[in-house]
Amino acid sequence: MHADQLACVTVPIMRDESDPQVCFADMPARGFFRREAVLPAAVFYAKELPRLSRPSRGWAKATCVFHHPDRHPSLSVNLATGGFRCFSCGAKGGDVIDFVMQRDGVDFVTAAKSLGAWESSCGSVSSADFRKQKAERERREQAAFDFRAAEKALRLRYRHDIHTLEAVQRHAAERLRDPSITIPETEECWRRMAMVVSALRGASAAYHLLCFAPAPQRTEFVQRPHLRHAAVQSVLAHGFVRDDQGRMVELVVP
């Protein structure tokens, strides 16, 4: 059995004696930490940091919660391990437990309780409960993995559509420049060009949204296909996408 699932342990409540705001605690907190109950880092940070950027090599950026104001997002979080570091104020830690402890100014036990990962009972944990919690954690991890894979596949699909439509557009333009082209062929080329322009605008808008929009907007776009058309039309109407920092990214159609 993993050390995190050992039976009852005693964890003293830590305090800073120099801080008059912290109360004394004479009794230790009894219980044990259940790491398998902690949300996956990607899920936790997407919930706690609403303006989380699209990840790059497993890391994403967000506005720092440890100092204010943070006009230029300086907090980097690892969506696999939960590690974090602010390159402005220097706050750093190795997992989401450290994040909660530092953000909320609490001890380990309180942070674990807020994450639903602290078992206060000293009784032994049944194998059935352990299997249930392990299965739930694996389900959440799989859901997070499946979403990232679906988002990437959709983004690559729109990129492929853009390249394909550009090739059709180039071919039609080259054919129109050919002096030997017939009238029926000319009409067909112009018909294709008109269709390509419309499709290219839609694919470019969808690609921009998946590349630059905030996490909640990207999540809705991936998980709710029936709303994609409205989202694309909104981007086309405004001519830009707002990124995680609220900046406008202009829509560029090839």
Residue 65: CATH number of its domain = 3.90.580.10
pLDDT band at 235 (very low <50, low <70, confident <90, very high): very high
Domain that holds residue 54: 3-125
Verify that 210 and 244 share a domain, yes or no: yes
How many Cα atoms within 13 Å fall on the side-chain side of residue 247? 7
Verify that 197 and 102 share a domain, yes or no: no
Distances in whole angstroms, Cα of residue 166 to Cα of each of 91, 179, 192, 208: 46, 22, 12, 16
| % helix, strand, coil for the chain, step of 5 | 50, 10, 35
- Relative to beta strand 118-119, strand 92-93 is unpaired
Number of other CB atoms surrounding residue 57 within 10 Å: 6
Q: For residue 132, is it within any domain?
A: no
Verify that 99 and 159 share a domain, yes or no: no
User: pTM of the entire structure?
Assistant: 0.54
Q: For residue 109, is it within any domain?
A: yes
Question: What pLDDT does 237 receive?
Answer: 92
Question: In whole angstroms, what is the distance from residue 156 CA to residue 207 CA?
Answer: 8
Q: For residue 188, is it within any domain?
A: yes
Number of domains in the chain: 2
Q: Report the percent of the chain where pLDDT is more than 70.
A: 83
Question: In whole angstroms, what is the distance from residue 33 CA to residue 13 CA?
Answer: 14
Q: For residue 7, is it within any domain?
A: yes
pLDDT band at 128 (very low <50, low <70, confident <90, very high): low
Report yes or no: 35 and 2 within 8 Å, Cβ to Cβ: yes
Verify that 109 and 202 share a domain, yes or no: no
- 9 pLDDT above the threshold of 60: no
pLDDT band at 148 (very low <50, low <70, confident <90, very high): confident
Q: For residue 139, is it within any domain?
A: no
Question: In whole angstroms, what is the distance from residue 138 CA to residue 180 CA?
Answer: 64
Tokens representing 140 are: 């959440």
Q: For residue 63, is it within any domain?
A: yes
Q: Name every residue whose Cβ is closer than 8 Å to that of residue 22 and which is 6 or more positions away in sequence.
A: 15, 16
Verify that 19 and 114 share a domain, yes or no: yes
Question: What pLDDT does 248 receive?
Answer: 85
Verify that 212 and 155 share a domain, yes or no: yes
